[in-house]
């Protein structure tokens, strides 16, 4: 999520359960008197997350729900059904005598879970007109009703901790799909889509330069007690050389210089796969950039705007291959994920690791541009000067996912916690960090590892430069 990335079958948030989606972690003992509070908190989060999904699709016309504009995106109807299918699998495992709603639904709304048998090919999800949108929404409402009944009786169920763990996983999974829905709706409609609410971006300011970060041993990964994916664990020591990292992500204005300087015409900046992909797909600029009347324009949810009018916004919708070419052109490189994480959350003054760049408090309106900000675009650099990291790096959470040079692979000591989750995707992907304007606030952490194939660029991905001292 991170983004749950089915275009390379690299997703996250796969459910657990005894029917084959098993979580191998042992449940913690429930403390006396806190069970009802925990159940109530999960039930409240359930309603919040499920409601947010429906707000994303609210502006759509009925025809929009079933269209698939590219093999790597999914029709909005499919997202509604798949995230519901997830919770039906929980009901199937934990409600005595439960009968699945429809075997046809299981076939269509499954994504890639081998243990559930055959399923429709991802690139053909837009070829089926049934179940209808109305039937899919009714299916969603029916499962929600049954989940609320499950919550109501959970305080007397000895399996409550187990169920709540799966519910939380399902909600994290749905938040990943909410971000994917933003990507897919943009690919489907772009500026024709009108969000329920769209706020004006804050003012930015030009920020330049790099910060110097001493190397040495650093504890990479997650070691807390709250929810985190298994690919963020275990926290372990890595050794870093002294390095520099940019204070802000690369902006549209800076990337325009690369384009106008012949960046997409000079093979010497590109890896061989990137140069081949450039010619194969006709890349001349990031996705959603258009060359009209002699100038580059960007089409997004706010309309068609000149690149110059968006010069301070972080560039996005670029692949790892494009990010690498830009970095080489600039005389720099991409950071490793360990370098990125240290710059984002290590405080040299206290010799401790922060939960977020600005400290221990969760993201809020004034600290990071995430989904709840309702900007539907990246904020200009310098928009959140009070939320920089201890090293002086800005906007490391939100706005755009940032490519790293790191391959997506298991940390030393990795133990799979979710069947058909991470361990089957540790090949051929690159790690991205930080979240985007489409990432829900409660879903992101400084240790969150997103991953996509090097050629993919339909997601909100940009870059931050690094260099070795």
Q: What is the pLDDT of residues 210-221, one digit of tens each?
A: 999 999 999 999
Query: Are residues 325 and 464 located together in one domain of the fold?
Result: yes
Q: Is residue 308 part of a domain?
A: yes
Element spanning 299, H or E: strand 295-300
| Closest-CA residue to 113 (of 442, 424, 446) | 424
Write down the pLDDT at residue 116.
53
Shared domain check, 324 and 464: yes
| Shared-domain flag, residues 94 and 212 | no
What span, in angstroms and rounded, lies between the C-alpha atoms of 438 and 461? 11
Whether residue 418 sits in one domain with residue 292 = no
- Residue 98, domain CATH: 1.20.120.450
Give the C-alpha distances (Å, rounded to integers) separating 21 from 18, 49, 166, 283, 417: 6, 21, 10, 40, 10
In terms of domains, do 205 and 257 share one? no
Task: In whole angstroms, give the CA distance from residue 351 to residue 346.
Answer: 7
CATH assignment of the domain containing 384: 3.90.1580.10
* Domain stops at, among 192, 219, 239: 192
- Percent of residues in the chain assigned helix, strand, coil, to nearest 5: 40, 15, 50
Pair (117, 129) in one structural domain: yes
φ, ψ at 434 (rounded to 5°): 105, -20
Nearby residues of 424 by Cβ (< 8 Å), 6 or more positions away: none
- Kindly give, in sequence order, each residue whose CB lies less than 8 Å from that of residue 435, ignoring residues fewer than 6 positions away: 2, 368, 370, 397, 398, 399, 401, 443, 444, 448
Query: Residue 15: what pLDDT?
Result: 29
Give yes or no for a contact between 123 and 112, defined as CB atoms under 8 angstroms apart. Answer: no
- The reported pLDDT for the residue numbered 23 is 35
Residue 287 inside a domain? The answer is yes
Specify the pLDDT at position 120: 63
Indicate if 216 and 114 belong to the same structural domain: no
In contact, 113 and 420? CB cutoff 8 Å: yes
Is position 1 within any domain? Answer: no
Q: Are residues 381 and 270 part of one domain?
A: no
Residue 416 lies in a domain: yes
CA 44 to chain centre: 22
Q: Is residue 392 included in any domain, yes or no?
A: yes
- Judge whether 397 and 354 are in contact, CB under 8 Å: no
| Residue 123 and residue 75 in contact, taking contact as beta carbons nearer than 8 Å | no
Q: Cβ(377)–Cβ(300) under 8 Å? A: yes
Residue 74 lies in a domain: yes
- Which ranges of the chain have pLDDT less than 50? 1-33, 114
The residue from 263, 293, 312 where one domain ends is 312
The burial of 139, by beta-carbon neighbours within 10 Å (0-12 exposed, 13-18 middle, 19 or more buried), is given as: buried
* Residue range(s) defining the domain that contains residue 298: 252-312
Q: Which two tokens stand for residue 296?
A: 């580059």
- List the one residue out of 189, 196, 163 whose CA is nearest residue 17: 163
- 272 shares its domain with 244: no
- Considering the domain boundaries, does residue 40 fall inside one? yes
Q: How many domains does the chain have?
A: 3
Answer for the pair 335, 343: CB distance below 8 angstroms, yes or no. yes
pLDDT digits (tens, 9 = 90+) for 75-129: 999 999 999 998 999 999 999 999 988 878 887 676 655 455 566 677 778 888 8
Of 312, 329, 349, the position where a domain reaches its end is 312
Integer distance in angstroms from the first to the last C-alpha of the chain? 32
423 and 448 share a domain?
A: yes
pLDDT at position 322 is: 99
Residue 43 shares a structural domain with residue 121 = yes
The 3-class secondary structure across 206-259, one letter per residue, is CCCCEEEECCEEEEECCCCCCCCCHHHCCCEEEEECCEEEECCCCEHHHHHHHH
3: its two tokens? 């983004």
Examine the domain organization and report whether 179 and 209 are in the same domain.
Answer: no
């Amino acid at each position: 999520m991170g983004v749950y990335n089915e275009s390379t079958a690299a997703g996250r948030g796969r459910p657990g359960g005894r029917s084959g989606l098993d979580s191998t972690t042992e449940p913690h003992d429930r403390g006396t008197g806190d069970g009802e509070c925990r159940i109530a908190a999960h039930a409240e989060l359930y309603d919040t997350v499920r409601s947010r999904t429906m707000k994303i699709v609210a502006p759509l016309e009925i025809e929009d729900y079933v269209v698939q504009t590219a093999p790597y995106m999914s029709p909005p109807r499919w997202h509604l059904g798949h995230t519901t299918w997830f919770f039906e699998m929980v009901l199937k495992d934990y409600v005595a005598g439960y009968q699945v709603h429809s075997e046809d639904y299981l076939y269509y709304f499954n994504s890639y879970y081998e243990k559930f048998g055959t399923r429709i090919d991802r690139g053909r999800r837009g070829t089926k007109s049934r179940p209808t949108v109305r039937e899919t929404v009714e299916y969603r409402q029916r499962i929600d009703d049954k989940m609320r009944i499950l919550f109501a009786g959970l305080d007397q169920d000895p399996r409550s901790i187990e169920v709540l763990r799966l519910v939380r996983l399902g909600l994290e999974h749905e938040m990943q799909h909410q971000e994917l829905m933003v990507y897919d709706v943009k690919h489907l409609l772009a500026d024709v889509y009108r969000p329920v609410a769209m706020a004006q971006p804050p003012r930015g300011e030009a920020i330049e330069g790099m910060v110097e970060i001493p190397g040495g041993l650093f504890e990479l990964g997650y070691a807390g007690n709250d929810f985190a994916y298994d690919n963020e664990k275990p926290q372990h020591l890595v050794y870093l050389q002294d390095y520099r990292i940019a204070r802000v992500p690369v902006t549209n204005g800076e990337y325009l210089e690369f384009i106008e300087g012949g960046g997409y015409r000079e093979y010497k900046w590109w890896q061989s796969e990137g140069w081949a992909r450039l010619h194969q797909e006709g890349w001349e600029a990031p996705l959603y950039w258009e060359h009209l009347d002699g100038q580059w324009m960007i089409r997004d949810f706010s309309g068609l705007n000149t690149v110059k009018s968006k010069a301070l916004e972080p560039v996005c919708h670029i692949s790892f291959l494009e990010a690498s070419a830009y970095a080489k052109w600039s005389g720099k490189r991409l950071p490793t994920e360990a370098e990125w994480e240290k710059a984002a959350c290590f405080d040299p003054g206290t010799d401790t690791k922060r939960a977020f760049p600005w400290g221990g408090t969760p993201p809020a309106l004034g600290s990071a541009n995430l989904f709840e900000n309702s900007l539907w675009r990246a904020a200009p650099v310098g928009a959140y000067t009070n939320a920089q990291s201890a090293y002086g790096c800005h906007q490391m959470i939100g706005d755009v996912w940032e490519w790293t040079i790191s391959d997506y692979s298991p940390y030393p000591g990795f133990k799979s916690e979710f069947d058909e989750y991470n361990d089957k995707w540790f090949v051929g992907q690159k790690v991205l960090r930080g979240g985007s304007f489409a990432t829900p606030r409660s879903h992101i952490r400084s240790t969150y590892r997103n991953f996509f194939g090097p050629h993919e660029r339909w997601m909100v991905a940009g870059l931050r430069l690094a260099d070795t001292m």
